[in-house]
Structure 1
Amino acid sequence: MSAAKQAEADSGIVREPKKAALSAWVGSALEYYDFALYSQAAALVFPVVFFPTGDPTVGIISSLATYAVGYVARPVGAVLLGAWGDRRGRKNVLILAMLLMGFSTLLVGLLPTYAQVGVLAPILLVILRLVQGFAVAGELGGAGAMVVEHSPDARRGFFTSFTLQGTQIGSILATGVMLPLAAVLSEEDFAAWGWRIPFLLSAVVIIAGYLIRRGVHETPVFSAESAVEVRRRFPVVELLRSYPWVMIRCILMTFTNVIGMATLVFGVSYATQEGYGIGFSTSDFLWVTLVANLTAALTIPIFGGLSDRFGRRGFMVAGGLGGGLLTVAYLWAVEQRSLVLVFVFVVIVQSIFFQMWNATFATFFQEQFPARIRVTGFAVSQNIGLMLAAFFPSLFTAIAPPGTENVPLTIGAVTFAICAVSALATLLTRETRGRSLEELEGPAR
């Protein structure tokens, strides 16, 4: 009998794929609600509340800079929380990440304003944003490891995909709570107290997340590792020494997120900024983003399940290349000022092709690393990749500023080229479908 199965038999621990998937889904939804909520507030109210300068542009830039700070903290969180999850357990790190995120978001809702305490207010805001970024870095790595290690070998892709669906639901909830308040309340009331309500609701995150995650058993794989092995190294040291090329390939694969950067970040600027002359309103593209997220939430478990039948790599390559190529069509629809075509292509590009990759990558990445460094390997790879990918919208603006001719072809070509690099990294990585986690514990490649 294998070590993992012997540990299950000895301890009485059983696999709980449905319970683990539910915990991951709810936890990811609540954590990404918190993380996405900040981006809404950074655009809507923080420039006035925390950065009241004589120049509105300076206030907006300062506010959005605090949003970016969250991404700076993510690699640090990936290393430290990854180590926590690999040494102390998947359940342990998920509860810790949930509490850090919940309390930091709750405290944002209780912060004094610039008018009350001066420069201390934005300083405290930045500190809490750093904690948010630190916490979210451990969420997907820990949740993915928990579900992968609880799931039967033939259904790991399906169950793990619910972790990604949870992140989509969290973003939808943040939009659904913040924007109606901004619409119903007067600008004065919203700035005075209304914006605090969604942040204070994070008290629910703390309570619900703890109760849900407390009830899930530690994974049999981690229990087996704890029983037979003493961890001599800090996990990131082993990752860099023994699995550097696996990590680099995962970072490159993460660049497939360029599809979302081109469509839902740069694409929004291209459609709405006066300099480009397209003329869509901000509310138009709020609906475009909302529809993209809602339809993606529906397609994620479908592609996760299909990856169990047909393999991970095929979906990741096809989704990346197809989404990258059709970015041209999406931006062309924006250029044609056809909102109907924009909706059609955002669903095709973002909710179908990109989700072929997005629904599959978490399982695929987790399967590349041995159990003793699984959380760290995933978290470090994903968060370094996302931190670098966050610069893509700035790259797009630099190569296609207002006044540039044929923006769709220019941005589409760059997006496809980046996706091609990610696809090549995927093809150079071993297929994992249908193999047990024990079989995948082999030497680094």
Structure 2
Amino acid sequence: MTTNAPLTLDQSSRPGENSTARIALASFIGTAIEYYDFYVFATAAALVIGPTFFPKGSETVQLLSAFLTFGIAFFARPIGSALFGHFGDRIGRKSTLVASLLVMGISTVLIGLLPGYASIGVAAPVLLCVLRFGQGIGLGGEWGGAALLATESAPPGRRAWFGMFPQLGPSVGFLVANGLFFGLALVLSDAQFKSWGWRIPFLVSALLVLVGLYVRLKLAETPVFAKAMSEDQRVKVPLFETLTYYWRPVLLGTLSMVVCYALFYISTVFSLSYGTSAMGYSRQEFLGLLCFAVLFMALGTPLSAWACDRWGRKPVLLLGTLLAALSGFTMAPLLGSHSIGAVALFLVIELFLMGFTFGPMGALLPEIFPTQVRYTGASISYNLGGILGASVAPYAAQLLVAQGGLAWVGGYVTAAALLSFIAVLGLRETRDISLATER
């Protein structure tokens, strides 16, 4: 083991380096845009994807088909992790972040232009699956690069706080996506929304991507990676190196992420579908509740990041996963109460805990891997967690609620949280390590 001195990171005083403001903005804005794109599809899947892109028939079958299409992106994300991680660990963080943003943006805009089943038949769901796969590839490469940009440029003792900025992106992306759907629900009739209105959020992505590209093209490479390049620490095949020598942190990092995904997609995609179909809420009512609740997710994210820099990653995550396990027991009495106040309380609890468990991951996952495989290792862990925690979550919840009611879906949340709790127990504390240390 070779120990290198920690880097001195005074970005504001060195020409050609990233200022702290630029780091925060670039790591935040990219994930916000990419998650906006991702959540636009998730919301559409709960509302219109089924009847638009699949044959007429049972509404349940159409909804399940839409949720299966939703899940495709999660299986694409580890592929995106390996692809973009390879280049991110070989040529740098900046170029890879620009490419991932383009892949996601193009896929999202094309979904907004794609004709439905009534126009082109079976080609519609096939092309939808291809483009959804493209969204997954783009997002698979996005998060790791954004997290590394933030953590590898952070001042000493503030890595979790800087790693929080890409973690805020999902909250803002979700709020903008659902806020846009909420606005459309207010100004368009149901027929107008289902005919063409749902496409508007997909097309808006083109403008957001241009903003993100402008910010990211002005970045300099992170000092930790620049130092690794100067010392020729790069490896030929980062994926092989990661899975051969760092499989244990990959496994524990993956399982640690499961709780975040389960909390989010059960409380948003499944709850939106269940609330509008089984509970009689209008589309705009439930979207309004979600927009309110996601503010608490945005609150939980910086709160947990601050706590992580003060007390360490493990104590904060163990507390968050334990509370998340207990929250599964609130699903049936709150979400199933048909009281708008109780439903709002359930959504607030789940999304706050999602933000609380999600905030530390921006620092933790990069910290458990060395520089030469950090992009690949952190990205794969993050996105494999999506396969386990989110890809089948809305689909499984739909089946569980049909078989045993909301209590069974709450049990799904509890099981996911306990799995992450056990994984966090197996991780070492990383608050005080140096990212410039070769391990």
Under a length normalisation based on structure 2, what TM-score does the superposition of the two structures give? 0.88
Residue 361 of structure 1 pairs with residue 364 of structure 2: no
Verify the 8 A CA contact 1:161 1:301 in the aligned structure 2: yes
Match for residue 260 of structure 1?
264
Q: 1:6 to 1:335 in 2, by over 3 A?
A: closer
1:426 to 402, 424, 430: 424
For residues 87-98 of structure 1, the aligned pairs below 5 Å read 87-98=90-101
For residues 1-40 of structure 1, the aligned pairs below 5 Å read 5=7, 13-14=16-17, 16-40=19-43
Corresponding residue pairs, total: 433
- Distance in 2 (CA, whole Å) between partners of 1:346 and 1:59 is 25
* Displacement after TM superposition at 1:381 (Å): 0.9
Verify the 8 A CA contact 1:320 1:419 in the aligned structure 2: yes
* Displacement after TM superposition at 1:399 (Å): 5.5
Q: 1:38 to 1:334 in 2, by over 3 A?
A: closer
Q: 1:271 to 1:176 in 2, by over 3 A?
A: closer
Q: 1:383 to 1:70 in 2, by over 3 A?
A: same
Match for residue 435 of structure 1?
433
Question: Alignment partner of 2:98: what SS?
Answer: helix
- Distance in 2 (CA, whole Å) between partners of 1:303 and 1:195 is 35
Amino acid paired to 2:368: Q
Match for residue 382 of structure 1?
382
Match for residue 181 of structure 1?
184
1:212 to 211, 215, 225: 215
Verify the 8 A CA contact 2:39 2:177 in the aligned structure 1: yes
Moved >6 Å (runs of 4+): 6-9
Match for residue 347 of structure 2?
346
Match for residue 245 of structure 1?
248
Residue 306 of structure 1 pairs with residue 307 of structure 2: yes
Question: Alignment partner of 2:377: what SS?
Answer: helix
Match for residue 120 of structure 1?
123
Verify the 8 A CA contact 1:321 1:420 in the aligned structure 2: yes
- Distance in 2 (CA, whole Å) between partners of 1:354 and 1:118 is 39
- Distance in 2 (CA, whole Å) between partners of 1:125 and 1:400 is 27
Residues 11-42 of structure 1 deviation map (CA, whole Å, 9 limit, x = unaligned): 96545332111111111111111111122233
Residue 286 of structure 1 pairs with residue 294 of structure 2: no
- Distance in 1 (CA, whole Å) between partners of 2:203 and 2:412 is 41
Verify the 8 A CA contact 2:150 2:165 in the aligned structure 1: no
* Displacement after TM superposition at 1:47 (Å): 3.6
174-183 vs 378-387, which deviates more?
Answer: 174-183
- Distance in 1 (CA, whole Å) between partners of 2:194 and 2:50 is 10
131-140 vs 327-336, which deviates more?
Answer: 327-336
Match for residue 324 of structure 1?
325
* Displacement after TM superposition at 1:280 (Å): 5.7
- Distance in 2 (CA, whole Å) between partners of 1:199 and 1:393 is 21
Match for residue 84 of structure 1?
87
Residues 350-407 of structure 1 deviation map (CA, whole Å, 9 limit, x = unaligned): 31x3322111112111100011111110111111111112334555555664555xx5
Question: Alignment partner of 2:114: what SS?
Answer: coil
Question: Alignment partner of 2:220: what SS?
Answer: coil
91-100 vs 251-260, which deviates more?
Answer: 251-260
- Distance in 2 (CA, whole Å) between partners of 1:144 and 1:368 is 13
- Distance in 1 (CA, whole Å) between partners of 2:265 and 2:197 is 30
Amino acid paired to 2:384: I
1:41 to 41, 44, 50: 44
Amino acid paired to 1:140: W
Verify the 8 A CA contact 2:256 2:421 in the aligned structure 1: yes
Verify the 8 A CA contact 2:182 2:288 in the aligned structure 1: no
- Distance in 2 (CA, whole Å) between partners of 1:71 and 1:279 is 30
* Displacement after TM superposition at 1:437 (Å): 1.4
Q: 1:354 to 1:128 in 2, by over 3 A?
A: closer
Match for residue 102 of structure 1?
105
Q: 1:139 to 1:345 in 2, by over 3 A?
A: same
- Distance in 1 (CA, whole Å) between partners of 2:198 and 2:281 is 26
Q: 1:374 to 1:282 in 2, by over 3 A?
A: same
Match for residue 146 of structure 1?
149
Verify the 8 A CA contact 2:179 2:287 in the aligned structure 1: no
Residues 182-206 of structure 1 deviation map (CA, whole Å, 9 limit, x = unaligned): 4422344334433332222222123
Verify the 8 A CA contact 1:158 1:302 in the aligned structure 2: no
- Distance in 2 (CA, whole Å) between partners of 1:261 and 1:56 is 21
* Displacement after TM superposition at 1:327 (Å): 2.5
Unpaired runs of 5+ in structure 2? none
- Distance in 2 (CA, whole Å) between partners of 1:19 and 1:285 is 36
- Distance in 1 (CA, whole Å) between partners of 2:334 and 2:104 is 38
Verify the 8 A CA contact 1:3 1:224 in the aligned structure 2: no
Amino acid paired to 2:26: S
* Displacement after TM superposition at 1:426 (Å): 1.2
- Distance in 2 (CA, whole Å) between partners of 1:92 and 1:32 is 19
- Distance in 2 (CA, whole Å) between partners of 1:384 and 1:360 is 17
Question: Alignment partner of 2:201: what SS?
Answer: helix
Tell me how large the CA RMSD over aligned residues is.
2.9
Residues 246-296 of structure 1 deviation map (CA, whole Å, 9 limit, x = unaligned): 11111111121333355445555666654xxx6666555433322221221
